[in-house]
Amino acid sequence: MHIGLIGGTGAGLFSPLGDSGCVVEQVQIQTAFAIDPVVITEWQAYGHRVLFIPRHGPNAQTPPHKVNYRAHIAALKQAGVEQIIALNAVGGITAAGGAPGTLTIPDQYIDYTYGREHTFYDGQQMQHCADLGLSESLQHVECNRPLDAALRSALLQAAVTAGIGVSAAGTCAVMQGPRLETAAEINKLERDGCDVVGMTLAPEAGLAAEAGLPYACIAGVVNCAAGRAPIDGEGQQQSIHEQLDEWVAACMTCLLYTSDAADEEDSGDL
Ligand code: HPA
């Protein structure tokens, strides 16, 4: 199976080589959606071919609203991946969303972003849909269940096997960024039914749906959302950046164990 892996914050900590000494190759895929080719790092793990894209670029410099999501999904599709696992850093809003240092496998999201290229069917470049094996006529892709159930349950099983705290479902709010939210915005997101908040699940998941690729997200909860950190004995709340310093590496370790367990189980779903 060819598995696309898109890494977010902390992707630099994702070392495909690990200790296994597997052979890593870099390939460049030219798409119709970017001048430069997309660089994909590929390696073999437990009989699967993993094709990895660091979402924010090789130096983690591309902000969430400037990521070329279309080029990434197109490149993975052109490279022959059959499903995509996205790694996303999120802030926790509700108890169901999970505490910092745990993982959440959302089943829904709400897209609050704007101005991002969010579709292959934009009326202008639709001839390029053929490169992706898609119809060149306008399609309204269903997004009732935007995150693939079989892939989600395989990831959940992997997290359980790896002994990692994981929330099995939840709704992810996708904010424009790059600034973090106000406490009032987080209160509104909770009223909207959101459990965690990030900046990158959309339009990535919708583009994967348009490309016909099963897609699921493992979200690492790296902080309590704005205004939600516990108050310490001196009446202080940790800032979000202090929390990120504490939790990003821990979450990446959980993600690595989970992806290893997922590969090792070789469940047939993956
Ligand atoms: N808000 C939005 N995006 C995020 C957060 C957050 O609190 N943490 C990690 N990504």
Distance CA 62, CA 70 (A): 14
- Which atom of ligand 1 lies nearest, measured to the CA of 175? 2
Q: Are 93 and 186 in contact (CB under 8 A)?
A: yes
Output the CA torsion 229→160→152→43 (10° steps): 100
Can you tell me the mean pLDDT for 237-242?
90
Cβ of residue 219 lying under 6 Å from some atom of ligand 1:
no
Can you tell me the mean pLDDT for 220-249?
90
How do residues 171-219 score in pLDDT, each as one tens digit?
A: 999 999 999 999 999 999 999 999 999 999 999 999 999 999 999 999 9
Q: Which pLDDT score, from 0 to 100, does residue 20 have?
A: 57
How do residues 65-82 score in pLDDT, each as one tens digit?
A: 999 999 999 999 999 999
Distance CA 50, CA 40 (A): 10
Q: Are 73 and 213 in contact (CB under 8 A)?
A: yes
Distance CA 85, CA 9 (A): 15
DSSP 112: -
Distance CA 188, CA 197 (A): 12
Please list the residues that pair with 6 across neighbouring strands: 53, 86
| 243: three-class secondary structure by DSSP | helix
Can you tell me the mean pLDDT for 157-180?
92
Cβ of residue 222 lying under 6 Å from some atom of ligand 1:
yes
Distance CA 229, CA 236 (A): 9
Cβ of residue 78 lying under 6 Å from some atom of ligand 1:
no
Select from 181, 241, 245 the residue to mutate for testing ligand 1; criterion: most ligand atoms less than 8 Å from CB: 181
- Phi/psi of residue 188, nearest 5 degrees: -65, -40
Cβ of residue 199 lying under 6 Å from some atom of ligand 1:
yes
